[in-house]
Structure 1
């Protein structure tokens, strides 16, 4: 048999199966209460609106262009709608600054390919979105933890990057209700990051997948909006803003977008042409149809449901989780981050949980570039009802309480 390993590119050794994607298979098991996948509740999809959208496309004059090849930049009416939508949060741009991708995950892959040479450094939060690490890993970077409290100097980042054989290219972060912690970066920290990026002359990749899912608290301007304000216009910015319709309208259509200065957009278009030519035209048309007719109502609906589930999960954690554990209290999004007592291992706890309590979650170490912080886990409230949340957290709290007094789980991961 052919030995495939010796002819694979060296970058393939850094490709890993997503722990989250594997855990999503558990959703098919009826006896499992899953807090694992941070996925939207399909009961909240605007399915009737999409039925009407596709019907209008197929019954009208657009059907030919909907099924034809299209421009790599994306469907112009959708880009125009995005321009108007982001203007509401301080991002002034034109349609030429908007680039449509096949989900925001493709945007992360393209940006990794565009900026990272082998051994270059990506600054990331600790923890950070697992999908970003997976996307960047193929381009063989090093990672360094960037501090949001400003206690590291640009020289220290440069020195670490040089030791790893490259230079710092960008800082990546999710500023609002981040995956996995659910936390939001405050205004002062955003401004510090911009100052750091200016001094180091690096890009900022702002992942805004959860931008619309604020339940309470005061909204904070996007980093790109701050950048535009201080630099005088989008063409002078170093921030690259990526968004998605997956968390608001429908993830299965795979429509995301990037907003950036034109030099970045032009390069992304070239990457798109080489990869898949363009994102699905008919799906872009359907997204524009639904968004332009009812986006605000859809967002209000999902906020109301998810905020109630967030509240239910926080209440259950307070009721059932031992005092030796702590957790975040997000103002929006889909996630809560739990820190277990020192010495506990989230992956081992998951193994026992699946075997004995039938509760799934994501071990926290997957979100750390160095695989550290084993005593953490991510739980999601987006796809469970109040009864499931109460029962699932009760079981999980019972398991954590038992493990913290010596019942150390040792079953293998399944």
Structure 2
């Protein structure tokens, strides 16, 4: 038999199975209440609108276009719609500043590929999005803390990067309702990241996957908008905005986008050409039709549903969590981050939760580049509704009560 290990590239050893992808298999077990997958509720998908969109595409002259090869940049009407949407967020731009990707996950992979040389440093939040670590790991970076970083100065960060054999290349963060913590970075924090990036000459990767899902509080401008306000034009900016329709319209169609300075977009287009030529034109056309006809109404519907589930989960946590357990109270998004007393370990808690209590969550360690954070858990409220949230949190509380009992 072929021994593939002997000929695999070194970077293949850094590619690990996603704990969340594996946990999603639990959703197929009807007796498990799952807070594991950070996925939208399929009952909220605009299925009828997509059915009409696909029918209309195939009923007219656009059918040939939908089934043919297309440009790597993406479907021009969709890029124009996105440019207008970005302008409404404080990011004046044109279609030349937009690249359509196969979900924002592909965009993260491309950005890791284009920025990282082995031993370079990626600054990330601590914890950070597991999918970002998966995307960047193949390019063999070193990770350092973006937030929080204590009293470390920009020069401290630069010196540590040089000592590791490379340089700091980008800061990655999800400033709105971050995965996994649900936390939002305030305006002052965003400005501080932009200042750090200017000092260190870094790119800033702004993962805006959850930005539309705000339930409470005042909206904060995207980091790209704040940088444009400082510098006058997107063409002078170092922020790369990654957006997605996965949390609002459909994850299965795999349509995301990158908005950035045009010369960087041109370089990313070359990666797109080499990787998959272009994202599925048919899907882009359908997303454009549905978004143009009623994006804001669809987002309002999703917000109302997820806000109610968030509120129910937070209330259930108050009722059922034992003393010593704390959690975040997100203003939007899909996640609540739970911290349990040490030395409890999330992976061991999950094993007991599934086998004895039929409830699932994501252990927090996977979200930390240094595999710390064993005493943390991520709970998602987006795909569970009603009494299942109350009962599921009661079961999580029972797991923790048992684990905290003296031996």
Q: TM-score, normalised to structure 1's length?
A: 0.97
CA distance in 2, matches of 1:151, 1:194: 17
SS at match of 2:126: coil
CA distance in 2, matches of 1:138, 1:206: 20
Q: What is the CA-CA distance between 1:151 and the residue it aligns to?
A: 2.9
CA distance in 2, matches of 1:144, 1:305: 37
In the other structure, the counterpart of 2:179 is 179
The answer to whether the 8 Å contact 1:314/1:329 transfers is yes
In the other structure, the counterpart of 1:122 is 122
CA distance in 1, matches of 2:162, 2:81: 43
Alignment of 1:255-404 (within 5 A): 255-404=255-404
Alignment of 1:27-176 (within 5 A): 27-148=27-148, 151-176=151-176
In the other structure, the counterpart of 1:12 is 12
CA distance in 2, matches of 1:353, 1:37: 15
Unaligned 5+ runs, structure 2:
none
Tell me if 1:216 matches 2:211: no
The answer to whether the 8 Å contact 1:150/1:192 transfers is no
The answer to whether the 8 Å contact 1:149/1:189 transfers is no
Unaligned 5+ runs, structure 1:
408-414
The answer to whether the 8 Å contact 1:171/1:204 transfers is yes
The answer to whether the 8 Å contact 1:97/1:265 transfers is yes
CA distance in 1, matches of 2:21, 2:347: 15
Deviation string, structure 1 residues 342-377 (Cα, Å, up to 9, x no partner):
100000000000000000000000000011010000
Q: What is the CA-CA distance between 1:150 and the residue it aligns to?
A: 6.8
CA distance in 1, matches of 2:137, 2:375: 24
Q: TM-score, normalised to structure 2's length?
A: 0.99
The total of aligned residue pairs comes to: 407
Tell which deviates more after alignment, 26-35 or 88-97.
88-97
CA distance in 2, matches of 1:100, 1:341: 43
SS at match of 1:286: helix
CA distance in 2, matches of 1:27, 1:286: 28
Deviation string, structure 1 residues 242-298 (Cα, Å, up to 9, x no partner):
000000000000000000001210110000000000000000000000000000100
